[in-house]
Each structure stands twice: as structure tokens, then as C-alpha cells.
Amino acid sequence: MDRLLKVMAYIVREDRLLVFTHADDATPFESGLQVPAGSVRPGELPEDAVLREAQEETDLDGLHIERFLGVTEYDARPYADATYVRFFFQLSVDAPELPERWTGWERGDGKGEPIRFELFWTPLRKAHVLAAGQSALLGRLFD
């Protein structure tokens, strides 16, 4: 089984967490409620990867790491025959105004069709419903 390095971004603003759904799923919430996340490229530091992935998936500029929250391992089966080693970060965004809801496009490496995300803010205390173990270190935001 592969061990893949991943990053997870908890973008927090005014006691709310930025989350998204895959807008083009065949059924509502097929992929579940998620936070910006992605893969660490070879030779890339997790700190750089989380900022890159968060910007790519949200189209937000002015993202900053507030703190590193920790590392977990997640067995991705049956979705993938892999263990994800996940680096969790709390991020903030410098922007005087942000929309409550917007559409983002993940273009990744530019190959294939872009993935459409519906992004919105949810209260931190209701974010425990994140998909695929993404809420694993959410409690550390309250420390």
C-alpha cells in the first residue's frame, strides 16, 4: 500500500470554517463536505503545499499559515489503496470582505477537466461532519 503525503487546510474566519462540496457530483454530497486539501509534490515542504492547494481550490489570495496542528494517518481504502499521511494547518485570509458562498475551479496540473467546487463558510462547531476523516484535528482549533 502506498503512503502519500497530503495537506489539509482549516481556513478559519470569525469562528467559521471554509468548506466546499463538489458541485458536479451525480448525487448531493457524494464526495462529502470537505476542506481545501491536496498532495505534497516531490521536494515540496508541507507548508508550501498547503498554501498552494488552498489557493488553487478557493481562488483566495492573502492566505497565511496561523499554525501547524499536527499529523495523522488515514487509510483511504476502498477509495484508494493508500495511506494518507496528512499534515493539518490552520490558515487565515487577509481580505476585508469575503463572499458567504462562491464557486471555485480546481485546475490542478492543467490536464483534464477542471473540478467545480461550491465554497461556503460553516460554523466551526458544526464542522465535525467533514468527509473522509478531515475533521480529525478540528478540536485543536479550540485550544
Which candidate, 15, 35, 10, 21, places its Cα nearest to that of 88?
10
* 8 Å CB contact between 32 and 130: yes
Domain count, the chain: 1
- The whole-number pLDDT of residue 29 equals 73
Contacts of 94 by beta carbon, 8 Å cutoff, 6+ apart: 62, 64
- The whole-number pLDDT of residue 63 equals 98
- The whole-number pLDDT of residue 38 equals 96
What is the pLDDT tens value at each position of the chain, 143 positions in all?
899 999 999 999 999 999 999 988 887 678 899 999 999 999 999 999 999 999 999 999 999 999 999 999 999 999 899 999 999 999 999 988 999 999 998 887 667 888 899 999 999 999 999 999 999 999 999 98
- The whole-number pLDDT of residue 56 equals 94
Rounded distance between C-alpha atoms, residue 58 and residue 103, angstroms = 8
Whose grid coordinates read 515540496?
A: 44
- The whole-number pLDDT of residue 121 equals 98
Whose grid coordinates read 482549516?
A: 10
Q: How many helices (H) and strands (E) does the chain have?
A: 1, 7
* 8 Å CB contact between 134 and 37: yes
- The whole-number pLDDT of residue 93 equals 97
The pTM for the full model equals 0.94
User: The domain spanning residue 15 has which CATH number?
Assistant: 3.90.79.10
Q: What is the domain extent for residue 111?
A: 2-142
Contacts of 104 by beta carbon, 8 Å cutoff, 6+ apart: 20, 57, 58, 59, 116, 117, 119
